[in-house]
């Protein structure tokens, strides 16, 4: 299983391309990868289980990998995950909802956050919202 391929498909579902680049082109997969080796190390096992569960379910149900499914079928799959209605042993203990929330939250953080964290490539979300690159202010930002 190529984890970056499935992550690209997942982040593109969360932030799809329209007149602006979506999650894949904004480098959200890179953001998630970087964060999983840093501040988000506690989520590594959830990602491993979730990605494996998605691929195994797709192999069984569709005889294809998730990233090979048509966009609309991927959307329906994720809607089922979000609703907590995935069936089978791989999805026990609410992994479907838990992993969907994690992917959604991290995708939005990677798309809308600062490019210095590995996502929002070329400031795409800032440009989309017509924002200037946010100025980072240090600790002494208030005058007394």
Per the structure, the complete domain to which residue 48 belongs is given by: 3-117
Q: What is the pLDDT of residue 134?
A: 64
Question: What are the pLDDT digits (tens) for 74-121?
Answer: 999 999 999 999 999 999 999 999 999 999 999 989 888 877 778 777
Question: Distance of alpha carbon 27 from its chain centroid, rounded?
Answer: 10
* Residue 103: predicted pLDDT: 95
Any domain includes 74: yes
Which residue's structure tokens are 């964290």?
A: 117
Q: How many domains does the chain have?
A: 1
Question: Is the CB of residue 73 less than 8 Å from the CB of residue 62?
Answer: yes
Residue 138: inside a domain: no
Check whether 71 has a pLDDT greater than 80. yes
CA dist., res. 74 & res. 13, Å (int): 8
Residue 144 lies in a domain: no
Instruction: Of 101, 110, 138, give the one whose Cα is nearest residue 23.
Output: 110
Is the per-residue pLDDT at 138 higher than 70? no
Q: Tell me whether residue 63 is in a domain.
A: yes
Structure tokens at 137: 């202010």
Q: 20 in a domain, yes or no?
A: yes
How far is Cα 34 from Cα 19, in angstroms, rounded to an integer? Answer: 27
């Amino acid at each position: 299983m190529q984890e970056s391929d499935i992550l690209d498909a997942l982040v593109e579902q969360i932030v799809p391309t329209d007149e602006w680049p979506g999650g894949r082109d904004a480098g959200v997969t890179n953001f998630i990868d970087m964060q999983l080796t840093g501040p988000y190390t506690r989520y590594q096992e959830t990602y491993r289980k979730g990605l494996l569960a998605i691929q195994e379910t797709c192999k069984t149900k569709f005889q294809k990998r998730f990233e090979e499914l048509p966009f609309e079928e991927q959307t329906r799959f994720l809607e089922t995950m979000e609703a907590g209605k995935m069936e089978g042993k791989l999805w026990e203990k609410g992994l479907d909802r838990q992993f969907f929330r994690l992917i959604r939250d991290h995708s939005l953080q990677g798309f809308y956050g600062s490019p210095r964290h590995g996502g929002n490539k070329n400031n795409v979300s800032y440009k989309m919202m017509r924002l200037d690159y946010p100025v980072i202010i240090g600790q002494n930002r208030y005058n007394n």
